[in-house]
Amino acid sequence: MNAAARVLVVDDSPTMRGLITAVLRSDPEVDVVGQAGDALEARAAIKALNPDVVTLDIEMPNMNGLDFLEKIMTLRPMPVIMVSTLTHRGADATLAALEIGAFDCVGKPSPGEPHPFGDLAEKVKAAARSQRQYVKPAAQRAPATAVADFRVGRKIVAIGSSTGGVEALISVLQKFPANCPPTVITQHMPPTFTRSFAERLNRLCAPVVEEATDGARLAIGKIYLAPGGDRHLRVANASAPHCRLVDGGPVNGHRPSVDVLFDSVAELAGRNAVGVILTGMGRDGAAGLLKMRHAGARTIGQNEKTCVVYGMPRVAHELGAVEQQLPLNAIGEEILKITAARKEGSE
């Protein structure tokens, strides 16, 4: 049996610290070794306790969570899980934290929520096991790679990701030209965060990136991100492909689910599709990617070395769903190679 994951809980609210601590202590494989109410207390606790993982509130007195996270990643790199309010402001700050190097995020629960913090304990354990090399973040992101004379073909691209997916998706999509193939994405993320993430991707990438809406037509040069919440993203109608937001229970514990998206792409596009599974906990998307491959689609999995969590891609690889495993920095170019129109102009 592995040693328990040792966690420091940082939040300015004693009530919230107590709730997080209670949720984590309900898992015998998690050991809450300390609590801190602000960045100064947290800094001292990290030095004294040497935790495996820190949960960190975004908004704190003296020094906010983002500023403190940057100091952690510079001076003492380690896995940090951000705890944020489910607001637009909270989402923007959390997405910035994920780009700085935070392992993952969770939303603060609403009053009366029956299962507050959901899978926080699982995220803490995954963070403690993570082989990720934590390094000082770059001062600024490199500009999008220019793609000369890309001629888009007729394929649809479907991408699934979870923990570590914010940075992974930015890395992949920044390689896309403005006339990229129609692309649909399911990224596991708390409700209200996906709109902010789509807006962030739209600023960073050459194509148009938007949160998917029911009935939105798939078009060249557009990328559609599944909204977080209570519906799944599917694609439908082979003659005029478009997004469908459908009701349904969680699949593999997630809604929206990558498997639901991949299943629909397999049925709709068959060999005229590319499926990509990126870093993430669990197995969501593995079976759907296998269905895509059996339908004739090309399939790519992120390799273990470049994953924050080699969960979803590992299961997909073990099932035989992955045609080729690639490092993160090679995936964008490979998608373009597969989806480019042939020189004679047909596919």
Domains of the chain: 5-131 (3.40.50.2300), 156-339 (3.40.50.180)
Give 137's pLDDT tier (boundaries 50, 70, 90): very low
Burial (0-12, 13-18, 19+ Cβ within 10 Å), 110: exposed
**Catalytic residue (choose from 84, 130, 162, 196):** 162
Secondary-structure percent of the chain, ordered helix, strand, coil, rounded to 5? 35, 20, 45
* Higher per-residue pLDDT: 109 or 291: 291
User: Average of pLDDT values for 168-177?
Assistant: 96
Residue 333: pLDDT over 80: yes
Residue 136: pLDDT over 50: no
Give 148's pLDDT tier (boundaries 50, 70, 90): low
Average pLDDT, the chain: 91
Q: How far apart are CA 37 and CA 63, in angstroms?
A: 11
**Catalytic residue (choose from 57, 104, 259, 284):** 284
Give 132's pLDDT tier (boundaries 50, 70, 90): low
Least confident of 24-28, 131-135, 167-171: 131-135
Q: Whole-model pTM above 0.75?
A: yes
**Catalytic residue (choose from 104, 188, 259, 264):** 188
Give 142's pLDDT tier (boundaries 50, 70, 90): very low
pLDDT number for residue 117: 85
Residue with token string 């047909």: 346
Residue 133: pLDDT over 60: no
pLDDT number for residue 255: 95
CA-wise closest residue to 336 among 147, 166, 171: 147
Active site residue 92: no
Residue 329 DSSP label? H
Active site residue 264: no
Give 109's pLDDT tier (boundaries 50, 70, 90): confident
Least confident of 36-50, 125-139, 239-253, 287-301: 125-139
